[in-house]
């Protein structure tokens, strides 16, 4: 029996030309800033929709069944990540954090979902600005630590920002699911 190789050959042609087109667009390797910004964007694409999905009347939710005494509620998780984004990005930029950051918990008076989401989105904008400044030349140069004494590196602060955000994203996913809400990133899977 003779096989028809045309479909396989046509598929291979599409793959080769697609790769060549992609390779032409990628004339230069990505920069450190590009890679870090891409990772931050991955976090942002998961974190912000998860924050937006929780109804406003559940922003005060914190688990109580089990060992959860003293944990942050859902809204506090978001404000903490936003405030930390500001703190970490300011360290990368070697500038004072914006006044809105107010420590690692964010503004105590900020209570509405709309205000918290805006604070979060603005923090990601500021953090993208910081990531853009990181280069192979300055990535490991010591800078003042936002934690008090000592020094850190821009690259260390950038990776901490992303890891910290995903840590809290995981907690937010649990809070959403405890309220019968499927996180946006998990829908359709």
Catalogue all structural domains in the chain, each as residue range(s) with its CATH number: 29-183 (1.20.120.450)
pLDDT band at 113, cuts 50/70/90?
very high
Q: How far apart are CA 77 and CA 106, in angstroms?
A: 10
Range scoring the smallest mean pLDDT among 18-27, 143-152, 158-167 = 18-27
Asked whether the predicted pLDDT for residue 87 surpasses 60, the reply is yes
Q: Report whether 89 contacts 129 (CB < 8 A).
A: yes
Selection from 77, 47, 84 nearest residue 62 by Cα: 77
Distance of alpha carbon 143 from alpha carbon 153, whole angstroms: 6
Q: What is the predicted pLDDT for the residue at 2?
A: 42
CB 93 within 8 A of CB 130: yes
Residue 94 has pLDDT above 80, yes or no: yes
CB atoms within 10 A of CB 32: 17
- Which of the residue ranges 15-24, 38-47, 76-85, 117-126 would you say has the lowest mean pLDDT? 15-24
Q: Which residue has the higher pLDDT, 84 or 107?
A: 84
How high is the pLDDT of residue 103? 82
Spatial distance between the Cα atoms of 38 and 149, rounded to a whole number of angstroms: 30
The answer to whether 160 and 169 are in contact (CB under 8 A) is no
Q: What pLDDT digit, counting tens, does each position of 29-72 carry?
A: 999 999 999 999 999 999 999 999 999 999 999 998 888 888 99
Scanning 3-106, the segments in alpha helix (DSSP H) are 6-25, 32-53, 74-93
pLDDT digits (tens, 9 = 90+) for 148-159: 889 999 999 999
Query: By three-state DSSP, how is residue 103 classified?
Result: coil
Task: Kindly state the tokens that stand for 59.
Answer: 């922003």
pLDDT of residue 14: 46
**Six-digit token string for 66:** 């089990």
Cβ atoms of residues 146 and 86 within 8 Å: no
| pLDDT tops 60 at residue 24 | no
């Amino acid at each position: 029996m003779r096989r028809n190789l045309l479909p396989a050959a046509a598929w291979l042609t599409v793959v080769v030309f697609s790769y060549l087109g992609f390779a032409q667009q990628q004339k230069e390797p990505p920069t450190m800033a590009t890679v870090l910004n891409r990772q931050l964007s991955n976090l942002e694409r998961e974190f912000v929709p998860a924050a937006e999905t929780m109804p406003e009347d559940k922003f005060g939710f914190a688990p109580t069944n089990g060992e959860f005494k003293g944990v942050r509620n859902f809204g506090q998780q978001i404000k903490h990540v936003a405030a930390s984004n500001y703190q970490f990005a300011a360290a990368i930029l070697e500038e004072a954090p914006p006044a809105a950051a107010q420590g690692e918990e964010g503004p105590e008076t900020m209570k509405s979902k709309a205000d918290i989401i805006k604070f979060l989105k603005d923090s990601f904008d500021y953090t993208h600005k910081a990531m853009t400044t990181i280069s192979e030349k300055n990535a490991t140069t010591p800078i003042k630590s936002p934690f008090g004494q000592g020094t850190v590196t821009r690259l260390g602060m950038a990776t901490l920002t992303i890891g910290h955000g995903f840590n809290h994203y995981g907690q937010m996913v649990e809070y959403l699911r405890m309220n019968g809400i499927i996180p946006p990133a998990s829908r359709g899977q």
